[in-house]
Structure 1
Amino acid sequence: MSYPEEIRIQYFDEVPRGARIKVIGVGGGGGNAVNRMIQARVEGVEFIAANTDRQALQLSEAPVKLQLGTKLTSGLGAGANPDIGRRAALEDSEKIIEALEGADMVFVTAGLGGGTGTGAAPVIASLASEMGALTVAVVTRPFSFEGKRRMAQAERGMQELLESVDTMIVIPNEKLLAVAKDAGFFESFRIADDVLRQGVQGISDIITIPGIINRDFADVKTTMAGMGYAVMGTAQRSGENRAVDAAMAAMASPLLEAGAIDGARGILINISGSSSLKLNEVNEASTLIQNAAHEEANIIFGAVLDESMGDDVKITVIATGFKQGEAPERRERMLNTSLREPISHAHEQVEISSVPARPRFASEESDDESGYTTSARAGVVSEASHEEEPVPVVETAAASVAPEPAIAVAEPPVQPHAVQDAPAAVPDPFADVHQDENGESLDIPAYLRRGNSF
């Protein structure tokens, strides 16, 4: 019996490429979180550490290290000044693009309130977004005892970061005190770093680790693309009703805002357990969370096999899709994009000028309404005027930052409108005017006469 030619089926041996996930820790807090992930053996992701502090990079366990702003800071850090952190990231944006190239999903993790994490993280996130990656920020807000100035800088950094990512998970360190009331001073920061790890791992494990219920990158993208502000709760329990107890504790976590589950339009649930975890337990836990959520919420859950859990079950709940920070246009674009093939020379398609202008930080004293300090504008213009100078290299030593370059790159020119918000100088109409043969005032700068602006 023969079949018509048009209904024959062809099979292809080519195996589709899985999602490529990269995690970049920015600044001290982000770098510590990356170290925690490496020590916890988080699988299926590539780790990058980015910092202005050379000494901190030397202590990083990340296989790829990016020293930012080598010319600007000489490897001495940003001095708790977010403006320095931002300028450092702009100075070495080409290195950042090269390190993130080929990623389908990028996690940007940082502790906000300081210099590098607060200033550089939005620049890095913006570059990742422009490269087409699903970009998720997992950041912490400072403890109250760190001071009002640091808290104010963190709030402004969050506003800018929200404009550059698909989803931003904010972990308020102050609420960690309710989780670990007896923690010591240094232990409290270690717990904060570990919660950053949990936020990233709770999402990445669903994509990379097969389990009882498998989910993939497309599922995660549906829940997180262009969804804006998000919150996270996690809990681990054992015993007869371990899964249900963990689900209830996760939803009641101090890290989740009151009513967060009910107000979310997207919920991601990660259930981790050993081979003793039963499908019925997963069903009971997920049903409990679904009943607490909004009836129209898009809920995606996965069950991950982890033999190290023993008799315990851990559940992580990430609620997304609040009105604050939504980006519907970006969401539509991301959902219509499949896994991308690696793009060579992706940096040629990304403009540094696409990095959004940011609000002024507490560490800046300028009254300039543009939001940039005088020194910041001078620094950016200076970078543009010295674009032929070589840029420091990407350093890739696993244990320490090698003095020799691993990848040499050229410094990208800063677009003239990178400081477009700075007010242009207006000539005095009552001053003596000198004109050329065409009747144009020579007292007016050439760039204004030609219709250009900065």
Structure 2
Amino acid sequence: MALVKPDVGRFAKIKVLGVGGGGGNAINTMISDGQIQGVDFVAINTDAQALLANLAQNKLQLGDNITRGLGVGGNPELGRQAAEESKEKIAQLLVDTDMAFITGGMGGGTCTGASAVIAEIAREKGALTVGVVTKPFAFEGTKRMVVAEEGIEALKSRVDALIVIPNQKLLDSIDKKMTLLEAFKVADSVLGQGVQGISDIITLPGLINRDFADIKTIMKDAGSAFMGIGTGIGDNRAQAAARAAIASPLLEISIDGAKGILFTITGGPDLTMSEVNEAAKLISEKADADANIIFGATIDERLVDQIKVSVIATGFDEARLRLANLVAPRLTTVAETISSSTQEQQGQEEKTISTPSDNNAIPSEEMGEEFEIPAFLRQGR
């Protein structure tokens, strides 16, 4: 089937703003991977040294007078003040921008403090503004999590849609032997997938194309949004990818309460319309009967015998979200439950033999209450 190639002249002007150290790391990963096309990357920071090392062509240093390029030392209030000082530069950066992604890691100083200011300016300039940010790992400490929650709350009221990726849920679903730096790399990659899941529908040629107006229908004034990502290989790969996406640990509640759903199906040149239909049907059946559903199907020639599905769900009832936040730590996917049960059975004998060091071990949750990851490892997050 021939691909529908959009008219480049009609492309929406999309900017991905990596704010703070975590945001800078995230766009570095996006640029290095080379998977996101048709967007402009901009690194925004109070740390001149971090900006110098960033791969983005466009860079903006905030708060020259307040920080003198030395960062804000994890202080969100200084981050906010730095952004306020640089309002005119931010506004100039966003001239003629149709869509702005604000991405970063909440809990530090620059992203937590400056993101809301940047988002407010972006919307004033008429840009569809979407936040894609992470919440800290548990081991980063309670203080950092509290700061992150405050930053998320401030950002939420100033963007059209906000996707919050809980790093701890990522950690719970990855290889336990993964190193610290690899774990942060995964978080950066997922931030990129959040951006890509939306931008690809607009910028890439595909079997089924959507335009910027379609995206705006789902994302404008949407409030909280959740993202799920799934992949499938081999037989029934489309259904497997769709099921994995709607059961993703990143989706903290079921998509059946969403009033708007945007999903992307990406495959190699061998992706068929039948497979697109299978995935779309499965997701549509799980969604609310009255939901506004928009999807696109794109081709990535690097995908061999593999299909990827990303789902963005919006328009949730806020009361339901608050309830979900209370019970979310107790919820696991079916796959996780089965895996956990199997591991318990296999390790039953091992658990009956304990050592003094095992009994005195400090649970990881308690360690997270007391210890923060050192700044030099966070790289300004």
Which bin holds the TM-score, normalised by the shorter protein?
0.7 to 0.9
- Specify the structure having the higher radius of gyration (Cα): 1
> How far apart are 1:323 and its partner, in Å?
2.7
- Cα RMSD over matched residues? 1.3
> If the length of structure 1 is used for normalisation, what is the TM-score?
0.67
Cα distance in 2 between the residues matched to 1:305 and 1:250: 18
| 1:31 aligned partner | 24
Do residues 286 (structure 1) and 304 (structure 2) align? no
> How far apart are 1:16 and its partner, in Å?
6.0
| 2:232 aligned partner | 237
SS in 1 for 2:231: strand
SS in 2 for 1:38: helix
| 1:312 aligned partner | 306
Percent identical residues: 57
Aligned amino acid, residue 187 of structure 2? A
Q: After superposition, where does 1:156-167 map in structure 2 within 5 Å? A: 156-167=150-161
Aligned amino acid, residue 324 of structure 1? E
> How far apart are 1:17 and its partner, in Å?
3.2
SS in 2 for 1:140: strand
| 2:212 aligned partner | 217
Cα distance in 2 between the residues matched to 1:153 and 1:263: 29
Cα distance in 2 between the residues matched to 1:244 and 1:128: 38
Q: After superposition, where does 1:82-121 map in structure 2 within 5 Å? A: 82-121=76-115
For structure 1, the 5+ residue unaligned runs are 1-13, 326-454
SS in 1 for 2:10: coil
> How far apart are 1:74 and its partner, in Å?
1.3
Do residues 197 (structure 1) and 192 (structure 2) align? yes
CA contact (8 A) 2:257 2:317 kept: no
SS in 1 for 2:107: coil
SS in 2 for 1:308: coil
> How far apart are 1:15 and its partner, in Å?
8.9
Cα distance in 1 between the residues matched to 2:21 and 2:150: 18
| 2:242 aligned partner | 247
> How far apart are 1:37 and its partner, in Å?
1.4
> If the length of structure 2 is used for normalisation, what is the TM-score?
0.80
Aligned amino acid, residue 21 of structure 1? I
Cα distance in 2 between the residues matched to 1:236 and 1:78: 39
Cα distance in 2 between the residues matched to 1:143 and 1:304: 33
SS in 1 for 2:293: strand
CA displacement, residues 306-348 of structure 1 (integer Å, 9 cap, x when unaligned): 00011111100110111339xxxxxxxxxxxxxxxxxxxxxxx
| 2:348 aligned partner | none
Cα distance in 2 between the residues matched to 1:177 and 1:211: 33
Q: After superposition, where does 1:49-128 map in structure 2 within 5 Å? A: 49-128=43-122
CA displacement, residues 355-414 of structure 1 (integer Å, 9 cap, x when unaligned): xxxxxxxxxxxxxxxxxxxxxxxxxxxxxxxxxxxxxxxxxxxxxxxxxxxxxxxxxxxx
Q: 2:174 aligns with which of 180, 185, 188?
A: 180
Are residues 179 and 103 of structure 1, via their aligned partners in 2, closer, same or farther at CA, if it must alter by over 3 Å?
same
> How far apart are 1:33 and its partner, in Å?
1.1
* Deviation beyond 6 Å, 4+ runs, structure 1: none
> Number of paired residues?
311
SS in 1 for 2:112: helix
Cα distance in 1 between the residues matched to 2:187 and 2:53: 19
SS in 1 for 2:194: helix
SS in 2 for 1:80: coil
Cα distance in 2 between the residues matched to 1:58 and 1:257: 37
Cα distance in 2 between the residues matched to 1:202 and 1:17: 20
| 2:149 aligned partner | 155
Aligned amino acid, residue 283 of structure 2? I
Cα distance in 2 between the residues matched to 1:237 and 1:32: 28
> Whose strand proportion is higher, 1 or 2?
2
